[in-house]
Chain A
Amino acid sequence: MADAKWGMVIDVDKCTGCQACVVACQSENNVPINTEDIFNQRRAIEWIRVERYWEGEFPDVKARFIPVLCQHCDDAPCEPVCPVFATYHNNEGMNVQIYNRCIGTRFCANNCPYHVRYFNFWEPEWPDTLTHQLNPDVTVRSRGIMEKCTFCVQRIRRTSREADRDGREIEDGARELSPACVNSCPTSALVWGDFNNKNSKVSNLAEKEMSHNGSHHGRGYKMMENLGTSPNVIYLKKIDKHAKETVAHE
């Protein structure tokens, strides 16, 4: 899988804000339970979160949803600032976070324009019985370290290893490979795959929706592209029949 470049295409026009991805992620990745106190302290951890923005006043009011997760930027601002290489870009196009290396300077979190890095302010706690649910493939993070979306790298590892063992090919969009959020999304707003595979769904979407040589002929945009982070997550613009066209990067 070393020649892959994983990425996601998120169709904002399909996202209903149902939060299925949020729980799917928490369940897969042993994200600690966000208690009421943790919300009040503004330390809740949601590797993928759904943001809601208001527009207008009653009765002409719109609420718009957008799922935000680690953009796995090619030029990630978080990577150069980590003093110990706890976060870096790997050869699969992913921005990875190595928990055991992390010392918790929180420099990366400050420098992330997408606010998708989360810090473990407390030791995560589960009641005894709930620990049976924890995914053994994912490290339970201790306090004092950063964590963030990994594109469910544990699934990539397990699936490619088992495919190697059994000598089979992995199809594009295979469920055992896809991140938990993508599998859960009821409206298929999230599509995930390999940008290096020219036949993958994400490549086709990128080809169709992104601008090429300056001609913009689709809905594709990258979030806050003006910062030069070159994310590996492509968003497809929300369609509002009453809206005037706006451009993501001014």
Chain B
Amino acid sequence: MGGSATAVAAAACGVPEKELLVQAPLEMPEDLVTGLDNWYATIDRQNRNGIGIVVRVMEGRAKKIEGNVDYPVNVGKHNAIADAGVQSLYHPDRISAPLVRTGERGEGNWEEISWTDAVSRIASRLEGVSGEELVLVTSPIGGHMGSVVNSFTDAFGSTHLQYEPLERTVLQASIKNVFGQDVMPDFDIENAAYVLSFGADFLNGWVSPVRFGRGYGDFRHAEGRERGTFTHIESRLSMTAANADDWIYVKPGYEGVLALSMAKVIIDEGLGDDAAVASLTQNGTNDLSQFDPSNVSAVSGVPAQRIREIAHEFATKRPAVAIGGGSAAAHTNGLFNLNAVHSLNYLVGNVNKKGGVIFNPMPPIGLPVGSRSSSFQQMSTLSDRMANREVKALFVREADPFYGMPSSSEVRKASFGVDLIVSFSGQFDDTTAMADIVLPEHNYLEDWGTDVPDPGPGYQVVGFQQPVVRPFFENRGGHLGTKNFGDVLITLGEILSNPLSLPGDDVKTFKDVVEQGARSLYGLNRGSVKSDDFRSFWQGVLQRGGWWDTGARYDGPSPTPPALPVSPQEPISGSGEFALVPFESAGLSDGRTSDLPWLQALPDPISTAVWHTWVEINNKKAEEMDIREGDVVEVTSPRGSIKALAYPHPGISPDAVAVPIGGGHLGGGRYSKERGSNVFSILEPLTDDKTGALAWGATRVSLRKTGDWVRLSKFENTKPDISEDTHRKIIPLTNG
């Protein structure tokens, strides 16, 4: 009686009923102590380049993600995207069970089925499908998942495309051309005295922002070194450009000639390494005269004097490093640009040296590297094959080509030529929405795996991913819920009596594959974790989040500098008043993290805009065109048009406009669905002529005011004035 009275009284005071109960569980797990937290090490999969993280787990729930102090790539640091991983784990729109399409494709009518049912349906549909007709599209996969996928494609003879919208094909080709390397080298910013970057937004989204951010911190101020100098050359004032000592505007696509012009200055003034100069110019046979700064100045828009100054600084402040990538690579002459930029490194003699370009060794135990992306050319071939009904089955995992490919509506149309589309996504992204069967995979915090960072820190590293929490949908029972992607592939192989060749006899599941991998590492008997028996090695690896061997460095031959690419290539681009510069905003990456509310609400560093797709335009130009902030502007390319809200600011050239990537998802859950516009959809399918990579920076567009006005949500003040710290009370400056 007293109890109920208390309950009534408490209910009246608004105490939720659950707080009046204490559940005594059946059995208490050993490590679950109420109110105590544990930090488990694993690998972040939200960023394109995996970093080591530790996850705070309390009472079986992941609470907070922080950088893993031991992990060599990020040394305890992380970024906003990694931090938001907990939201992807507990996202309200996660798919909790296998789904089968009931209505027409793309209609969005689904029915839950059991795993066994789903897998057998796929198996029956796959009968009679030849290996060629089965295509696997995934994000670039490294580590053991990569080897499982490889053995699956081997077993079936099917094609495997590793797709990401902002592919690194050009960068990898350039690294191969210039340095002869198969894996990405590490740019050793922290020890460099001078950094010269062409288009690589390395502090924000390019390759491995956390690793470069860490380096940048030391580059600016660290014990026992002078403050480094950093010059950034790009067509838009990106976050990285904003942090440079000098931002130099270059016309999109002319980074290569600019770099060659600098090379010419260095060579002419005799500032470069003699051996490298001889090799680069083929003993003087290569004629660089056309790259005289006065000529280049006219085409690139950079004053000749500035070119000489920068070349001079670059050559004299050593160690210096030149980085090329990002928008510099995103033109039809992308490879030429990057080759020219990376060749500069030879002139200052920093190749495979501290403070320069440090080569990475091949990963141990034959693991695949994690960032071999397929080119856009291959993807559009796939699209054509789909349209021609040459593809019978399409497996998609962690990739969203129907969102990220230019003219995605055509790709989506082409998908009607495919009999069976299976998506392994745990979230209704644009591609999953077109699937026939959805087999939701575990969130990365619930899953096993390994990762080979690319670029690595200069030595061999294998990161280990372990489930830090039990699968969230576990309570739905074994027949529903989520599963590991590798396990599904293994099961499929078994059912179709095409078993995958797994390393070892009693290796049955993906976890076993990972454990077997650890066994091989244990067999190497070197590196960060050493122990007498495998059990404690395994525990050590999981505790520290991975295995690495600081001694295992690149020991191949020093490359000879290739000849400078002296025949200049003009970037090809369409017509239109403005060059379109798509860019990664701080949170949304290439669109893969758009579904997380923290990242949607994360102010973009430059515009502080949130939740929208906006178009950055020069403030003077906007005034000319009578465009104010928040005006709905139609951005039209020959491939179509999108609407975006104008954001005029002074950090962009009057002949370019910039649009963030990540908006305009057709699926993806409540936080991203039909929010903003997809800039990929208006890109012209131009490619780099050597690598077939998408030239995503080569589209030209025109702007038109629609006359509508929508408030652009952003963190800075409401009026479109320019925020300026006039009295320097907020940010005082010093000249050092």
Contact = CB atoms under 8 A, between A and B. Distances in A.
| Chains A and B directly touch (beta carbon < 8 Å) | yes
B621 to A, nearest CB: 9
Contact of B64 (A13, A28, A129, A221): A28
12 contacts: A24-B66, A24-B83, A27-B598, A39-B601, A52-B716, A53-B724, A58-B618, A133-B61, A135-B64, A238-B733, A246-B734, A248-B732
Given A36-B610, A183-B66, A248-B729, A242 B242 contact: no
B77 A186 contact: yes
A247 B732 contact: yes
Interface string A121-135: 000000111111111
A244 B61 contact: no
A42 to B, nearest CB: 6
A18 interface: yes
Contact of B217 (A27, A40, A189): A189
Given A49-B603, A238-B731, 6 more contacts: A35-B611, A68-B730, A130-B87, A133-B62, A239-B227, A244-B735
Nearest to B86: A133
Contacts of B237: 61, 63
B670 to A, nearest CB: 8
Interface stretch (B202-210, B355-363, B390-398, B632-640): B202-210
B79 A129 contact: no
Interface in A124-153: 127-136
B734 A136 contact: no
Contacts of A24: 66, 78, 80, 83
Interface in B116-169: none
Given A239-B734, A246-B732, A246-B733, A34 B601 contact: yes
A59 B732 contact: no
Interface string A39-52: 11010101001111
Interface in A1-42: 11-14, 16-20, 22-24, 26-28, 33-36, 39-40, 42
A186 B78 contact: yes
**Size range of the interface on A?**
35 or more
B83 A27 contact: yes
A246 B732 CA distance: 6
Interface string B663-698: 000000010000000000000000000000000000
Contacts of A241: 229, 245, 735-736
B735 A242 contact: yes
B650 A54 contact: yes
Contacts of B587: 19, 23
A134 B249 CA distance: 44
Contacts of B467: none
A188 interface: yes
Interface in B513-550: none
A217 B611 CA distance: 44
Interface string A163-192: 000000000000100001001111111000
B733 A240 contact: yes
Given A28-B64, A34-B610, A44-B601, A58 B651 contact: yes
B176 interface: no
A225 to B, nearest CB: 9
Given A42-B718, A130-B91, A186 B735 contact: no
Nearest to A128: B92
Contacts of A36: 610-612, 713
B605 to A, nearest CB: 4
A183 B203 CA distance: 17
Contacts of A186: 74, 77-79, 209-210, 213-214, 216-217
A189 B243 CA distance: 13
Contacts of B58: 136
A16 B239 contact: yes
Interface string A52-70: 1111111101111110100
Contacts of A158: 37
Nearest to A33: B597
Contacts of B242: 17, 52, 62-65
A87 to B, nearest CB: 23
B239 to A, nearest CB: 6
Interface in B93-109: 94
A58 B610 contact: no
A223 interface: yes
A237 B220 CA distance: 12
A219 B736 CA distance: 8
B249 A59 contact: yes
B91 to A, nearest CB: 7
Across the A-B interface, the 4 shortest Cβ-Cβ residue pairs: A186-B213, A187-B217, A127-B92, A39-B713
Contact of A133 (B90, B213, B214): B90
Contacts of B497: none
Contact of A58 (B65, B90, B601, B652): B652
B578 to A, nearest CB: 14
B656 to A, nearest CB: 10
Given A18-B239, A243-B735, A250 B620 contact: no
A64 B87 contact: no
A224 interface: yes
A64 B731 contact: yes
A18 B586 CA distance: 7
Nearest to B717: A42
B728 interface: yes
Interface string B714-726: 1110100011110
Given A53-B725, A224-B729, A246-B732, A180 B715 contact: no
A128 to B, nearest CB: 7
B299 to A, nearest CB: 16
B733 A239 contact: yes
Interface in B614-655: 618-620, 649-654
B17 to A, nearest CB: 16
Interface in B220-243: 220-221, 227, 229, 237, 239-240, 242-243
Nearest to A36: B611
A248 B77 CA distance: 31
Nearest to B66: A183
Interface string B595-609: 001110111011010
Contacts of A19: 80, 586-587, 602-603, 605
A68 B221 CA distance: 20
Given A23-B83, A58-B620, A130 B92 contact: yes
B278 interface: no
A130 B210 CA distance: 26
